[in-house]
Structure 1
Amino acid sequence: MSKNKNTGNKGPYSYQKRREGEARSCVRYRCALTNTIQDVLRQRPGWLEVKDEGEWDFHWCDIGWLRENFDHTYMEEHVRICHFRNHYELTRKNLMVKNLKRHRKMLEREAGKLEASKCDFFPRTFELPSEYHLFVEEFKRSPGSVWIMKPVARSQGKGIFLFRKLKDIMDWKKDGSRSDEQRDEMVESYVAQRYIEDPYLISGRKFDLRVYVLVSSYVPLKAWLYRDGFARFSNTRFSLSSIDDQYVHLTNVAIQKTAPDYDPEKGCKWQMQQLRRFLCARHGSEAVETLFRQIDNIFVRSLQSVQKVIINDKHCFELYGYDILLDHNLKPWLIEVNASPSLTASSQEDYELKSRLLEDTLHIVDMEGRLSGREKRVGGFDLMWNDGPVYREDVNLEALGNSCFTANTHLGCVNDRNKQLRQLLKPLPGQKKI
C-alpha cells in the first residue's frame, strides 16, 4: 500500500498475500479526475475507491499532487502512479525541443548527419526570452514568414497567437487592452516556432493527429502504441490571410467548440481508421505505410531524447498524448506531447474510444498480475519498443532495411481488442467475459 512517510498505518492485506491469491483482485485506488478515467476505474472488477486519507495501491493523480507529494510518499513494491516524477522533460514545449536538439547533436557526433536527420521532425523553435537574439537572426532570414507563439506550460490553446512581424511581439506585451491575467502570462517562458504554412488539408480544413503512447519503463525503455486515435479538425477553412482567427489555425477541441457555428452532434473529429482509409484512397497504401513509419520514428526518437534525463521509477507509468501535424507533402511534424491528454469525451464515440484506451492501459499496468511480461500486444496496444525495436512476426527485416524504425505498430488499423483480450486474459472473479 501507499502511505505518507510520516504515518505508520498498514493496510488490511500485505502485498505478499495478494500475490499468493488471497486478495489478488482487490485493488484500492484513488483518482483525482472526474471524467472517463473515473468511470473506467469504478467499473473495473475488484477495484475499490478509497478516500483522500486512505491507503491505496493505484493512483491516477494530477500533476499538482505529483509535485507536492511524490517525495513524501512511501510506496510499496506493487504501487503504481500515472506519471514519472519529471515527466515535463518531454511535455513542456521548451524542454521537449531542448532535449530533441541535444539528442540530434549527439546522433550527428556519434552516428553521422544521416542518422541525425531522422530527428528533423519538429519546426524551428526558440525559447523566449532566453533565445531572443537567436530567434531574431532566424526570423530575418525569412521575412514575411508566419511564426507561432506558445506558453511553454499551458494547454488547450491558451495564450497562443500567430505573428508575421517582430513588432507584433512587442505590441502584444504592451497591449493595454488585455486583461491582467493575459499580461501576466508573459512572466512565463514562451516558445516561438515556425508555423507550418502548408498543412495537409481535408475539405479545405486544417487538422492534427492525437495519438496515444504508453511508457511503462524508461530503463529499459518500454513503449506501447495504441491503435486508435483521432484527427482534430478546425471548424473554418484554412487561410493565411487572417492569422488572428483561432478557429482557422488551432485545432484544440477546447477552442473549436466555442466557434459560433460549431455543431456538437457532428463534432470536429475523425477516428484514426477513417483518416487512414481516406489517405490510402487518395495516395495509395505504400505512401501511407511510409507516413506511419515516419510517425513511429517520431515516437521512438522523442522518447530516446529524454530517456537519460527522466527519473525512472518502477512505480510510474505515463500515458502520453502526441500531437502530430501533416504538411501537404505528407511529412509528419511533432507539435507537442501531453502528459495529461484530455480524458473528457466530446461525443459518445469519443467516450468509447477513451474508455477502451484506459481499460487497456490498466491491463498493461497489470495490478492484478495476469500478464507474463512477454506480451507484444495487449488489447489495442502494440509493443513498439522494448530496449530495442519490436517487429511483427510477418515482417521481412531484410526488405525493410534502414527505412523502418519499428514495425510492430498498427496505428489506424482494425482494433479487434475484444478478441485479443479474450485470448490473453482470464476473467477476474466476478467479471463477465469480454
Structure 2
Amino acid sequence: METTALSAQEGQERRQAAKGACLRCPDSAACSQFKVSRSLDRLPLLDPDSLRAAREFADKAVKMHKIFAVQGRYPVIRAALRARGWVEQCMHSSKQKVHQCHRNKNRADSNRAEDNSSDDAEKPPDPQRLHDLMSHLVRNKMVYFYWTNRRHSINSNNLHKDQFTNHFEKAGTFTTKVGLCMNLRNLHWFDSANPDTFFPRCYRLGAQDERIAFIEDYRRTACVGLLKYIVEMDRGVQGEGPTLNLCFLSGQRKQNKRQPRLDLSQITSSALQVCQEFLESFEHHDIDMSSETPPMLSQAEWAEFLDSYYLVVHGGAEIEIRDRLVTCCKAMLQRMKAVSPQLEIDGIHNIWIIKPGAKSRGRGIKCARRLDQILRVVDGDPTLINERKWVVQKYLERPFLVHGTKFDVRQWFLVTDWNPLTIWFYKKCYLRFSTQPYSLDTLDSSVHLCNNSIQKHLTPSQQRHQCIPTDNMWSDKEFRAFLSTGGRKSQWETVVVPGMKKAVIHALQTSQDLMDSRKNTFELYGADFMLGRDLHPWLIEINASPTMAPSTPVTARLCAAVQEDTLRVVLDRRLDRTANTGDFELIYKQAAVDIPQYVGVNLLVEGFAIKGASPLPPLRSSKRSAPKHRGAITEKNPAEKVKLLPKMRARE
C-alpha cells in the first residue's frame, strides 16, 4: 500500500498541538506513557485529498460563521451540528483533557496493532481524526454557537451579538425553589390566574414574616384535616367505601387500642371557629378588627389542639362521632372548598416537604408531618435561617397513582426570547416512578421522591406492581395507554397538557422583568409536575440544564429527540420560518415591549422662589355652605383673595 507523508509544516503543527494538550493535562502520571511524537508517527496518515477537503470544509465553516463549542458530553448536539456543516472548536475542561489524552493513547495503540497486522488493504480515513484536524484548524476562530452544561462558564456580556448561547442570565429567578416561590406571588400583576390553582403553597422559613404565615397555614390545615377526618370516618362507618386514609388508620388503630377515647366536641369547635375566621378574612370582615384584638387561640391552646390532632389523625385515637358534628363538618368543608383550591390535595395528615432552596436532584429534601419537626430542620442551622435558603411546601397527600405507585412528570419547554416572551412546549414527556408502593405509613424518600438520581440507587420493592418497569420510567405514550384502560385517555389532552402549559406560561410571566433579554440566546428547561386524583397538574419545580443522560431506554430515545428538535427551532427556523420544529409547539408569544433607550440626559425642573408670603384663605366654618366652584373668590371678602403663583418654567 502506498502511503503519503504529511508536509513538514503540517506535521509540526499537529505535533505541537498534541504536545501542548498533553502538557496541560492535570493527570501527567496517567499520560506519562503517551509520547506525543512517537504516537503521531505511528498514527495512520491522511491522504492529501482528505487533508485538502478538511481544510476547505473548515474554511467554509469559518466564512459561514459555523464554528461551535460544546462543554459536557452531548454527542447528539455534536452530531447534529456537524451534520449541518458546523465545525467544533474544542472546549475542554480538566476532566475532558484527561479523557482526550487517554482516547488518543488508545487510538494510537489500536493503530499500532493495525499497522502490525498482515492486512495491507487501504482503509478509509478515521472521521474523528478529520474532526480533530478541523478543530485544530479553527482553534483561533470566533465561536458562534456555545452549548454548555454550566451557566457561568460563558459570560454573555462578552459575547458578540451574532454568537449563540444556550443559557440566559438570572434564570435562578424561577429555576430555584426560592425564586419560583417568590415570583409566583406576583402573578396577579401579570394575569388574573391564581397560583394556588397550580402551585402548592410554599414559604421561606428563613424569613420571619413567612415563617409566621407558614405556622398559621399549618394550624389552619390541621383544623381542616380534622374536619376531613371526621367526615371520612363517618363515611367508613356508613359503608360508603374505604378511602386511602382509612386504610392507613386501620393499621394505626390496632396499635392504639389502649388510648383513651377523646371528646371531639371541644377540638372540633375550635377547628370550626378557625375555619370561620379564615372565611371572614376573604370577605374582609377582619378589617374593622383592632390590632390589639387577642388571637382566637393562645399559644398554649394551639399546642393543646395540635396534640389532640396528632392523637386523633396520626395516632388513631378512639373517638365518638355524632351526626350533628358530621353535619357541621360537611357544611364547613363545602364553604372552604369554594376559597381553597388545594383543599383536595391537602389530605388529612398535614404533611409538608422541606427543600433546600438552591439544590437539585432531590438532595436534602425531607418530608415531615409535625410542626416542631419542620421548624427544627432550620432552627438547627442559623446560617440557613439568615440566608433564607430553606423552603417548605405543602405535600400532595392524594396524588394520582399508577398501580398504587407514585410518580411525577418531566416536561420540557424551550424559551427562545424574553422580549417578546416566546415559549415552546415539547409534545412528549416521561414519567418517573418511585421504587416503593405509595403509603403514608412512612415518609421515606424511596416512597415520596421520584427523582431518578435517588431512585436509581434503590432496589424496587417486591410489593410494587409488576407492570411498573424496573428502570422506573414510562413514556407519555405508555401513560396514555394506562389511562385508556380506565376510560380517562381523553383527559390527557383536555386536562393534563393544558394545565401544564398554563403553569409554565404563568411561571415565566412572573420572571420576565427579571431576566436578561439578550437576543440569540435560548434555554431548554425541565419542569416537574405531579397529578392530582382528578389529573389536574401541579407544578413542583423548574430545572435549568435538565439531564440528557440516556439512563433508560425511555430517556435515551426522548432526550436525543428533544436535543435535535431544539436545534431545529433555534437554527433551522432562524433561516426558514416554515422549517420543521419536530415535537416543539409554540404555545406563547407575547407582543414585543419597546424599551426606551437611555441617552444619558439628566431631566431637570427649575422654578422661582416666592418672594412674599401669600395670605392663606381663612378656614370656613362647618355651618357655612361651601361655594359652588372650588377655590372661588368673592369681592365681598377681599382678604380671601389669593395671589397667583408665578408660572413655573421647565427646561428640558
1:250 equivalent to 2:449? Answer: yes
Question: For residues 448 and 474 of structure 2, what CA distance do their matches in structure 1 show?
Answer: 17
Secondary structure of the structure 1 residue equivalent to 2:514: coil
Q: Report if aligned partners of 1:207, 1:232 keep a CA contact under 8 Å in 2.
A: yes
1:169-190 Cα shifts (integer Å, max 9, x gaps)? 3544577xxxxxx998776601
- Identity, in percent, stands at 29
Aligned position for 1:154: 359
Q: Report if aligned partners of 2:473, 2:552 keep a CA contact under 8 Å in 1.
A: no
**Aligned-residue offset at 1:384:** 1.5
Aligned amino acid, residue 91 of structure 1:
T
Q: Report if aligned partners of 1:221, 1:385 keep a CA contact under 8 Å in 2.
A: yes
Question: For residues 195 and 390 of structure 2, what CA distance do their matches in structure 1 show?
Answer: 26
Q: Report if aligned partners of 1:157, 1:252 keep a CA contact under 8 Å in 2.
A: yes
1:94/1:219 CA distance change after superposition, 3 Å: same
1:192/1:40 CA distance change after superposition, 3 Å: farther
Question: How many residues in Structure 1 have an aligned counterpart in Structure 2?
Answer: 350
Aligned amino acid, residue 148 of structure 2:
C
1:182-197, aligned counterparts within 5 Å? 189-197=389-397
**Structure with higher RCO (Cα < 8 A, 6+ apart):** 1
Question: For residues 40 and 128 of structure 1, what CA distance do their matches in structure 2 show?
Answer: 46
1:304/1:370 CA distance change after superposition, 3 Å: closer
1:128 equivalent to 2:205? Answer: yes
1:220 equivalent to 2:420? Answer: yes
1:218-260 Cα shifts (integer Å, max 9, x gaps)? 11121111122101111110011101x1110000000001113
Question: For residues 51 and 273 of structure 1, what CA distance do their matches in structure 2 show?
Answer: 38
Aligned position for 2:42: none
**Aligned-residue offset at 1:40:** 4.2
Give the TM-score normalised by structure 2. Answer: 0.50
Question: For residues 389 and 362 of structure 2, what CA distance do their matches in structure 1 show?
Answer: 15
Aligned amino acid, residue 212 of structure 1:
W
**Aligned-residue offset at 1:132:** 1.2
Q: Report if aligned partners of 1:36, 1:345 keep a CA contact under 8 Å in 2.
A: no
Aligned position for 1:302: 507
Question: For residues 262 and 31 of structure 1, what CA distance do their matches in structure 2 show?
Answer: 40
1:183/1:98 CA distance change after superposition, 3 Å: closer
Secondary structure of the structure 1 residue equivalent to 2:441: coil
**Aligned-residue offset at 1:369:** 7.0
CA-atom RMSD in angstroms: 2.9
1:365-413 Cα shifts (integer Å, max 9, x gaps)? 10x67633356x511212222227xxxxxxxxxxxxxxxxxxxxxxxxx
Aligned position for 1:165: 370
Deviation >6 Å, runs of 4+: 182-186, 262-265
Question: For residues 354 and 87 of structure 1, what CA distance do their matches in structure 2 show?
Answer: 22
1:49/1:226 CA distance change after superposition, 3 Å: same
**Aligned-residue offset at 1:22:** 7.5
Aligned position for 2:147: 60
Q: Report if aligned partners of 1:29, 1:47 keep a CA contact under 8 Å in 2.
A: yes
1:169/1:309 CA distance change after superposition, 3 Å: same
Aligned amino acid, residue 272 of structure 1:
D
1:25/1:357 CA distance change after superposition, 3 Å: farther
1:181-231 Cα shifts (integer Å, max 9, x gaps)? x99877660110000000100011100111110111111121111122101
1:343 equivalent to 2:420? Answer: no
1:262/1:350 CA distance change after superposition, 3 Å: farther
1:277 equivalent to 2:363? Answer: no
1:92 equivalent to 2:176? Answer: yes
Give the TM-score normalised by structure 1. Answer: 0.73
**Aligned-residue offset at 1:138:** 0.9
Aligned position for 1:178: none
Aligned amino acid, residue 58 of structure 1:
F
1:268/1:185 CA distance change after superposition, 3 Å: farther
Secondary structure of the structure 1 residue equivalent to 2:558: helix
Question: For residues 196 and 76 of structure 2, what CA distance do their matches in structure 1 show?
Answer: 33
Aligned position for 2:216: 137
1:379 equivalent to 2:582? Answer: yes
Question: For residues 196 and 414 of structure 2, what CA distance do their matches in structure 1 show?
Answer: 21
- Equivalent of 1:104, from 188, 191, 195? 188
1:290 equivalent to 2:369? Answer: no
Secondary structure of the structure 2 residue equivalent to 1:202: coil
5+ long unaligned stretches in structure 2: 1-56, 92-138, 223-348, 463-467, 592-652
Looking at secondary structure, tell me which structure has more strand per residue.
1
Aligned amino acid, residue 351 of structure 1:
A
**Aligned-residue offset at 1:85:** 0.7
Q: Report if aligned partners of 2:526, 2:542 keep a CA contact under 8 Å in 1.
A: yes
Q: Report if aligned partners of 2:414, 2:523 keep a CA contact under 8 Å in 1.
A: yes
Secondary structure of the structure 1 residue equivalent to 2:545: coil
- Equivalent of 2:156, from 70, 81, 85? 70
1:315-354, aligned counterparts within 5 Å? 315-354=520-559
Q: Report if aligned partners of 1:36, 1:355 keep a CA contact under 8 Å in 2.
A: no
Aligned position for 1:415: none
Question: For residues 203 and 184 of structure 1, what CA distance do their matches in structure 2 show?
Answer: 42
Aligned position for 1:13: none
Looking at secondary structure, tell me which structure has more helix per residue.
2
Aligned amino acid, residue 229 of structure 1:
C
Structure of higher CA gyration radius: 2
Question: For residues 257 and 213 of structure 1, what CA distance do their matches in structure 2 show?
Answer: 25
Question: For residues 492 and 557 of structure 2, what CA distance do their matches in structure 1 show?
Answer: 26
Question: For residues 167 and 22 of structure 1, what CA distance do their matches in structure 2 show?
Answer: 63
Q: Report if aligned partners of 1:81, 1:315 keep a CA contact under 8 Å in 2.
A: yes
